[in-house]
A and B are shown apart, each in its own frame.
Chain A
Amino acid sequence: MQTTEQASPVATTTPAAVLAGVSKLFGTFAAIRNLSLTIKAGTITVLLGQNGAGKSTLLRLLAGLTAPTRGSVTVLGDAPERRRGRIAYMSHAPMLYDELSAMENLQYFATLNAVGGGCDCVGSPEMALRAVGLDPHLAKPVGQYSQGMRQRTSLARVLQSDPEVLLLDEPFSNLDVGSAQHIVELLADFKTWPIHGGASGRTIVLTTHQAHLAESIADLTLTMDRGAISR
């Protein structure tokens, strides 16, 4: 894995994601500035940096939720929007319906993620909820959950889709120390889960302000500053 601000990315074996000369402008504000980055498959990359450094925008570019103003983004060998179902993204917001229970939310997204023709390898909502330490039979709507429980439900939503590339924006925020440590261990374990279809390993890219938690599982830690990798 190699990062530079100007140069073309260094070729590595089976990259999970490649950003080549990517810039993202919102009006006149440059959220990402001429960024080139190659992320190797089967690794955990941790993005650090202050608020507004461009971490979340970088994740949204990798998720295909926003298009680069300049440059190109490739995930699993193609444009991210053509890799839907193999990439999962968890943002600051829980991405869940407040009026539905955790199980109802997960069942809904499980149906959307199950597409015929591919492997039938989507994890069960019940298993995903148990994995993040939640009771799958809890009937309470998500809107009545604590912030930490919503965060864990959101993580269960992305884990159940069995993604090859997992993009997590601040996964440890709102969690107590014990829960955060549990999620760290879960992510380390997730990386080792077998992949159907012979892909070369699960890749996680996460942003956090709690470097001490993520660094224990990180294969690479990058710090972003004003839209570029500073170190």
Chain B
Amino acid sequence: MNFYRHVMAHLRKDLRLEWRSRDSMTGMLFFSLLVVVVFAMAFDPTAAVSRQISGGILWMTLLFASTMALNQAWTREQRNSVLDAQRMAPASAAALFFGKALANMIFVTGVEAVLAPLFTVFYNLHALGQGWLLLIVMPLGTWALVANGTFFAALGLRTRNRELMLPLVLFPISIPALLAMIQATTGILTGEIEPDLWIRLLVVYDVVFTTACLLLFDTLLNAE
């Protein structure tokens, strides 16, 4: 019960901070929109080609955009040494991680909500497979990015080149999840690949990495 209350306190605080500063969302939105427009103009793909490549473009765009937001995620806690006050509190570190990951999930999902209709228009998309499966793939894929991203962004708190550190660690470790996200999305859009296996892989990836992050976050937070 304490865990839930503390997670909600962190989540409410992060949403309120973002609402007032709009640091993360603005950057992510502009970056994503630019990538979508630039790719559409650069390739001018046919409908068939669009279905083949749009899964990859979508997830790559979200990966790069979320990296921008994730780099910001802990900056607020470092400013004014608020992180020290959080470390002093009897609330669990896992609650802090989970609350922040949920907040990042909401921010990236917000960007996806804006991006989805634009993607459909620019790439002339309609799913030939089971389109409703995207409602499962999108949150699973987004969680894989933000859970790991939140954890590894905290890992870079005490390093000098934090902005460089996050992609260096996050991208390689996200490769299995990225592969599953892209294959599942492409499978749904083209109807040529069965996405079930890739969705199952995403579920396993999310469960394993979320558990590892929750267990290790206290050590990470208090490491010198």
Q: Chain A: residues with CB nearer than 8 A to chain B?
A: 63-67, 81, 84-85, 87-89, 91, 93-100, 104, 108-109, 111-116, 141, 157, 161
Contacts and interface: CB of A to CB of B under 8 A. Distances in A.
Contact of A108 (B13, B81, B84): B13
If over half of B's interface residues share one DSSP class (helix, strand or loop), that class is named, otherwise mixed; here it is helix
A96 B80 contact: yes
Interface in B70-104: 76, 79-82, 84-91
Contacts of B76: 97
Contact of A95 (B9, B21, B84): B84
Contacts, number: 76
A91 B84 contact: yes
Interface string B1-19: 1100110010011001100
B82 to A, nearest CB: 5
A88 B16 CA distance: 25
Q: Which of B12, B13, B86, B222 has the most CB of A within 10 A?
A: B13
Interface string B127-149: 00000000000000000000000
A87 B21 contact: no
A94 B91 CA distance: 20
A113 B6 CA distance: 9
Contacts of A63: 84, 88
B160 interface: no
22 contacts: A65-B88, A66-B224, A81-B222, A84-B88, A88-B88, A93-B80, A95-B80, A97-B17, A97-B76, A97-B80, A98-B80, A99-B21, A108-B9, A108-B12, A109-B85, A111-B6, A112-B6, A113-B89, A113-B90, A115-B91, A141-B20, A157-B85
Contact of A93 (B81, B88, B222): B81
Given A97-B17, A112-B9, A85 B79 contact: no
A84 B89 contact: yes
A99 B9 contact: no
B5 A111 contact: yes
Contact of A115 (B2, B17, B20, B21): B2
A85 B2 contact: no
Q: How large is the interface on B (under 10, 10 to 19, 20 to 34, 35 or more residues)?
A: 20 to 34
Which of B84, B86, B87 is the most central at the interface, judged by chain A CB atoms within 10 Å of its CB? Answer: B84
B86 A97 contact: no
Contacts of B82: 95-97
A94 B82 CA distance: 8
Contacts of A111: 5-6, 9
Given A95-B84, A97-B13, A112 B222 contact: no
Nearest to B84: A65
A100 B81 CA distance: 15
Contacts of B91: 112-113, 115
List 9 A-B pairs, minimum CB-CB distance, nearest first.
A85-B90, A93-B81, A112-B89, A95-B85, A111-B9, A112-B91, A84-B90, A99-B20, A115-B90
A108 B16 CA distance: 11
A100 B17 contact: yes
Nearest to B218: A81
A211 B217 CA distance: 41
A109 B89 contact: yes
A89 B88 contact: yes
Contacts of B86: 112
Contacts of A95: 80-82, 84-85
A115 B13 CA distance: 18
B1 A116 contact: yes
A58 to B, nearest CB: 15
A85 B90 CA distance: 5
